[in-house]
C-alpha cells in the first residue's frame, strides 16, 4: 500500500509568479485557489493537517476543476487515516478525468479490487434507469414537473457561484412550483370529473387525483429536504470563509478586527475542524484584543470621555468575560455609569467588584464610591 504521508511530500508548491508572467490576466479565483493550495502544503509540513484540509476545500470551491487540488485533499485524508473520505475524493477526480493516473493509483492502493470499467458500466446503467424514471415522471406529471426539475438544476448551478444570494429564490421557487403543480392537477381532475356522468368513472378520477396529489406532496417534501441541505452547505461555506479571513487577521496581528468577527460568529453552528479552528483563533486573539481595547478605554476615561470609554469597557467584557483585569474593567464601567447619571448600573458594577474581588484595591475604591453615593 502507498505510504500516503510520504506521498504528500512529493507535492510541491505552484510557482504563481511564473504562471502570472505567461498569463497576466489570470482570474482572481484561480490565483486565490493557487495561494490556498500552497498554504495548505505549508500547513501540512507544520503538522496542521486540519487547517490544510480547510484551505484545500476553499481552494477547490474556487477552482472545482483542479484535479491536482482534489487529489491532494484525498491524499491528506488518507494520510490522516480517513480512507473512506479519501476514496470518495479520488472517485470524484476519476469522474472528472477517467485517465487521471494519480487518482487511479491512489484508489487501487486503497482497494486492490477496484475496477474502473465496472464502475463506469454501473454508472451508465444508473443513468439509463434515471432516464427511464425521468420519462415516466414527465408522462405522469406533465410539463410543470419537467419545469420544476429544470428549475432545481439551474438553482444548483447558481448556488455554485453565490449560494447565499439565491437560497431565498430557491425556497420561493419550490413553493411556487408545488402550488402551480397542485393547481394544474386540481383543474385537470375537475375537468375529468365534470365531464364524467358515470359514478364509477368519477370514483376512478378521484382516486387518480389523490394518487397524483400524494405523489406531488412527496416531491414537495423531497424539495424541502434539498433546500435544508443547501442552507446547511451555504452556512458551512460562509463560516469557513469567515474563519479563513479571521486567520489572516490574526497573522497580521489585527487582533481587534479578528475578535469582532469571532464575537459575531455563532459557535453553536460550528462542528469538527471548524469548531477546533474557532477555539484556536479565540485563544490567539481575544485576550490580546481585550488588552488593546482596555488601554483605549483607560485613555478615554482619563480624558473624561465617559460615554466612549464605557463602550470600550463593554467591548472588553464581550471579548473575554473574565480576565486578569476584570476587577479594573468592572470598576471603570461603574464610574462611567455614575458619571453618565445611571446610578443603578453604577451600583450594580461596584457591588460586583466587592463581591468577586473583595481583597483587591478596586473593591476598596468601589466601597468608597458607594459611600459617596449614599451620603
CATH number, domain containing residue 283: 1.25.40.10
d(CA 225, CA 171) in angstroms, rounded, equals 11
Place of cell 444548483: 156
Q: Is residue 241 a part of any domain in this protein?
A: no
Predicted pLDDT of residue 158: 44
The label of the residue with cell 486578569 reads: 324
> Are 209 and 284 within one domain?
no
Cα separation, 145 vs 153, whole angstroms? 13
- DSSP letters, 203-236, are HHHHHHHHHHHHHHHHHHHHHHHHHHHHHHHHHH
Choosing from 82, 114, 146, the residue where a domain stops is 114
- Domain-terminating residue out of 233, 258, 279: 233
Contact 208, 22 (CB under 8 A): no
Q: Specify if 240 maps to a domain.
A: no
d(CA 17, CA 39): 15
Range of the domain at 149: 137-233
How far apart CA 260 and CA 319 sit, in angstroms, is 8
Q: Are residues 274 and 368 in the same domain?
A: yes
Considering the domain architecture, whether residues 152 and 70 belong to the same structural domain is answered as no
Cα–Cα distance measured from residue 60 to residue 24, given in angstroms and rounded to the nearest whole number = 21
Same domain, 109 and 142: no
Q: Are residues 147 and 109 in the same domain?
A: no
Shared-domain flag, residues 50 and 108:
yes
Q: Which contiguous run of DSSP H or E holds residue 128? A: helix 116-161
Structural domain contains residue 248: no
Instruction: Specify whether 143 is located in the same domain as 105.
Output: no
> Could you tell me the mean pLDDT of each successive run of 10 residues in the chain, 375 residues long?
77 86 85 86 78 86 87 84 86 84 82 66 44 40 39 44 49 50 45 49 74 82 74 71 90 93 87 88 93 96 95 94 92 96 95 95 94 89
Residue in this structure with the C-alpha cell 406529471, named with its chain if needed? 141
Distance CA 329, CA 318 (A): 12
Distance CA 259, CA 245 (A): 12
If asked whether residues 282 and 328 sit together in one domain, one would say yes
Place of cell 472588553: 316
CA distance 117 to 98: 10
Whether residues 271 and 362 fall in one domain = yes
Note whether residue 121 is domain-resident. no
Evaluate whether residue 367 is within a structural domain. Answer: yes
Q: Which pLDDT value is given to residue 140? A: 41
The pLDDT value recorded for residue 342 is 95
- Please, what is the angle between helix 83-96 and helix 67-79, to 10°? 160
Per-residue pLDDT at 106: 85
Among residues 204, 207, 192, 185, the alpha carbon closest in space to that of 140 is found at 185
301 located within any domain: yes
pLDDT at 189: 43
User: 148 and 90, same structural domain?
Assistant: no
pLDDT at 129: 45
Grid cell of 338 as nine digits: 455614575
pLDDT at 22: 84
pLDDT at residue 201 in the model: 62
Domain count, the chain: 3
Residue 130 maps to a domain? no
* 206 lies in some domain: yes
Place of cell 484584543: 289
Same domain, 192 and 153: yes
Tell me, yes or no, whether 281 and 361 share the same domain.
Answer: yes
Q: Would you state the cell numbers that stand for residue 371, as one nine-digit string?
A: 459611600
Burial category of 3 from C-beta neighbours within 10 Å (exposed 0-12, middle 13-18, buried 19 and up):
exposed
CB neighbourhood size of 116 (10 A): 15
Global pTM?
A: 0.43
* Rounded distance between C-alpha atoms, residue 130 and residue 304, angstroms: 73
Helix (H, G, I), strand (E, B) or coil at 14: coil
Amino acid at each position: 500500500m502507498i505510504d500516503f504521508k510520504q506521498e504528500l511530500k512529493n507535492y510541491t508548491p505552484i510557482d504563481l509568479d511564473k504562471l502570472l508572467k505567461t498569463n497576466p490576466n489570470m482570474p482572481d479565483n484561480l490565483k486565490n485557489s493557487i495561494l490556498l493550495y500552497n498554504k495548505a502544503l505549508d500547513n501540512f509540513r507544520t503538522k496542521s493537517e486540519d487547517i490544510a484540509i480547510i484551505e484545500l476545500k476553499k481552494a477547490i470551491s474556487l477552482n472545482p476543476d483542479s484535479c491536482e487540488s482534489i487529489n491532494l485533499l484525498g491524499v491528506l485524508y488518507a494520510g490522516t487515516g480517513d480512507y473512506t473520505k479519501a476514496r470518495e475524493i479520488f472517485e470524484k477526480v476519476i469522474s472528472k478525468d477517467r485517465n487521471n493516473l494519480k487518482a487511479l493509483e491512489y484508489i487501487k492502493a486503497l482497494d486492490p479490487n477496484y475496477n474502473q470499467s465496472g464502475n463506469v458500466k454501473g454508472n451508465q446503467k444508473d443513468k439509463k434507469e434515471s432516464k427511464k424514471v425521468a420519462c415516466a415522471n414527465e408522462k405522469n406529471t406533465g410539463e410543470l414537473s419537467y419545469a420544476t426539475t429544470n428549475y432545481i438544476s439551474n438553482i444548483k448551478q447558481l448556488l455554485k457561484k453565490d449560494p447565499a444570494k439565491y437560497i431565498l429564490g430557491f425556497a420561493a421557487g419550490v413553493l411556487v412550483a408545488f402550488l402551480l403543480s397542485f393547481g394544474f392537477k386540481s383543474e385537470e381532475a375537475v375537468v375529468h370529473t365534470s365531464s364524467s356522468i358515470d359514478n364509477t368513472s368519477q370514483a376512478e378520477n378521484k382516486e387518480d387525483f389523490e394518487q397524483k396529489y400524494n405523489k406531488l406532496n412527496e416531491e414537495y417534501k423531497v424539495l424541502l429536504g434539498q433546500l435544508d441541505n443547501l442552507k446547511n452547505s451555504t452556512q458551512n461555506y460562509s463560516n469557513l470563509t469567515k474563519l479563513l479571513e479571521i486567520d489572516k487577521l490574526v497573522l497580521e496581528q489585527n487582533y481587534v478586527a479578528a475578535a469582532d468577527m469571532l464575537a459575531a460568529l455563532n459557535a453553536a453552528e460550528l462542528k469538527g475542524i471548524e469548531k477546533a479552528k474557532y477555539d484556536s483563533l479565540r485563544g490567539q486573539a481575544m485576550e490580546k484584543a481585550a488588552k488593546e481595547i482596555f488601554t483605549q478605554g483607560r485613555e478615554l476615561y482619563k480624558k473624561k470621555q465617559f460615554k466612549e470609554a464605557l463602550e470600550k469597557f463593554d467591548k472588553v467584557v464581550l471579548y473575554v468575560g473574565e480576565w486578569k483585569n476584570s476587577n479594573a474593567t468592572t470598576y471603570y464601567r461603574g464610574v462611567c455609569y455614575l458619571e453618565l447619571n445611571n446610578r443603578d448600573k453604577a451600583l450594580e458594577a461596584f457591588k460586583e467588584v466587592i463581591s468577586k474581588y473583595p481583597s483587591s484595591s478596586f473593591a476598596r475604591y468601589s466601597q468608597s464610591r458607594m459611600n459617596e453615593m449614599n451620603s
